[in-house]
């Protein structure tokens, strides 16, 4: 196996983490909508946790993307 082929395979495997991030973001917003449907008056209290959860899940996607780009362009 060539080194450039191994780099491409490694970068492709690193990007699989973005799929998990997409599922996580969907779960975060689904839980938010369900919480608002059950208790509309708690909308402002739940919104803080929504943004925190979204930011943490999105950070994992960015980490996976950075690892993939490092594999492609640095190593």
Answer whether residue 5 is part of any domain.
no
Measure CA 11 to chain center.
Answer: 16
Burial class (CB in 10 A: 0-12, 13-18, 19+), 28: buried
CATH code, 39 = 1.20.20.10
Q: How confident is the model at residue 59 (pLDDT cuts 50, 70, 90)?
A: very high
Res. 4: pLDDT tops 90: no
CA distance 35 to 65: 31
The pTM score is: 0.77
* Count of structural domains, the chain: 1
pLDDT at 75: 79
pLDDT in tens, 5-54: 988 998 999 888 889 899 999 999 999 999 999 999 989 889 999 999 99
Domain housing 29: 14-70
Give me the pLDDT at residue 1, please. Answer: 81
């Amino acid at each position: 196996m060539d080194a450039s082929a191994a780099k491409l395979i490694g970068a492709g495997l690193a990007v699989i983490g973005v799929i998990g991030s997409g599922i996580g973001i969907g779960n975060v917003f689904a839980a938010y909508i369900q919480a608002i449907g059950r208790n509309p008056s708690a909308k402002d209290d739940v919104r803080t946790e929504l943004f925190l959860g979204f930011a943490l899940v999105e950070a994992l996607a960015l980490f996976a993307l950075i690892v993939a780009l490092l594999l492609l362009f640095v190593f």
